[in-house]
Amino acid sequence: MTQPFRLEFQVRDYELDIQGIVNNGVYFNYLEHARHEYLLAKGVDFAALAQDGIHLVVIRSELDYKAPLKSGDRFVVEVTTERLGKVRFGFRQRVIRLADDKVMLDGLVTGTALNERGRPYISPAIESLFEA
């Protein structure tokens, strides 16, 4: 198995809710940014695909919150991909606090690509993510 892509973050105060922990919705932003950076690192330009009429879309998100992040916590988001079907792919993602390597979140974000007619389409760029 290949090493996961890792992107480092730090919790900012405005991401906290009234309880002093990262709001659950903020994790979606962390995960999305990490996916986009992962794609760029693999040579897949999300914006260029959209300009070419290929739209990568999320069709399902499954997030298991294990423990809360707090202000100033440094953490990484790990990303790996897997094929989930003919036109579906998954991003396995984990949020790991760096201070103690504790897994704070486990997630599976399922996506597909749509062509200019809105039909599922796996472009060669996306297909390349699953090559050995």
CA distance 88 to 84: 5
CA distance 121 to 38: 20
CA distance 45 to 21: 33
Torsion sign (Cα): 37, 125, 122, 85: negative
At 132 the pLDDT is: 52
CB 74 within 8 Å of CB 9: yes
Per residue in 36-62, pLDDT tens?
Answer: 999 999 999 988 999 999 999 999 999
Pinpoint the alpha helices (H) of 1-132: 26-41, 46-51, 124-127
Is residue 17 annotated as part of the catalytic site, yes or no?
A: yes
CA distance 47 to 38: 13
| Catalytic residue of the set 17, 45, 100, 106 | 17
CB 11 within 8 Å of CB 22: yes
Per residue in 72-88, pLDDT tens?
Answer: 999 999 999 999 999 99
